[in-house]
Structure 1
């Protein structure tokens, strides 16, 4: 329980809530990233590795749901499931990873 309180107090930022109830867990240890951020990082790695070229409109379409979902959660205290976090985070990460892979 002490680890959970430490995570909540030290890892809370506007970009990731670090709340143990929404965090990815590796066995008994919570990772200080929520499922949205974990999926975003995973999607970024996949998008970068696949090196698939997306145009800006497609990338914006994939990033928009994650952005809106995150804003609704942060500003309006809207509750959301971990499944929703994953389903919005992974496509956004994929789009960002794809864009980064084509920066010359």
Structure 2
């Protein structure tokens, strides 16, 4: 499976998906750490992909998503955005209900 197919599979198989550098508990940059902490603060489980461990995904993701930011948050198959968008949506109160609604729909 090529990198784009892997990306498509990961996005379609995971309600909340964070592409990041490192892992939520061991992020490799401040943007990834902030994004992971923000998603964790929403109170739902999520999947992450460490792009440092997957160079093909790291190379293909910006073109696939039409977004060069890393980290990238995907919810219910839709790109939410990079670290600034994630932080802003959390601060305005938009992100937690978006995530909770997506998780609730996925459980049905």
> TM above 0.5, one fold?
no
Q: Which has the higher helix share?
A: 1
